[in-house]
Amino acid sequence: MSTALPCGYASEGQGVTPLAAALEAGAMREQGFDVTLAKMGDAHAVVGGLTSGAIVVGNLAAPALVLGAAGGWADLVFLAGGDIEQVLV
């Protein structure tokens, strides 16, 4: 049995390559995750997907997170995976 894990990213170049490579290699499925990865177009769409529940993991540039949190419309947790990686859940 696998766990569904819908993910979204803003655009290429936002640090999504490690996740995409793991998907291509089958590493996520081996760990029991059924990952779907959707290109959402921009960071605000990723924040919208997270807050609506359409995705549970998002990769995007930090300004949209800061704007959402400061504006009170995005209750998100920021996780950093490296010096240029950021993932929101």
Model confidence at 71: pLDDT above 80: no
pLDDT of residue 85: 53
Q: What is the CATH number of the domain that holds 10?
A: 3.40.190.10
Total domains in the chain come to: 1
Model confidence at 70: pLDDT above 60: yes
Model confidence at 84: pLDDT above 60: no
- All residues at 6 or more sequence positions from 23 whose CB lies less than 8 Å from its CB, including other chains: 35, 37
Q: Which range of residues forms the domain containing residue 70?
A: 3-88
Model confidence at 12: pLDDT above 60: yes
Q: Where are the alpha helices (DSSP H) in the chain?
A: 17-25, 27-30, 43-52, 62-71
Alpha carbon distances (Å) from 86 to 18, 50, 83: 12, 14, 8
pLDDT of residue 19: 86
Give residue-wise pLDDT tens across range 13-56.
757 888 889 999 999 999 999 999 999 999 889 988 988 999 99
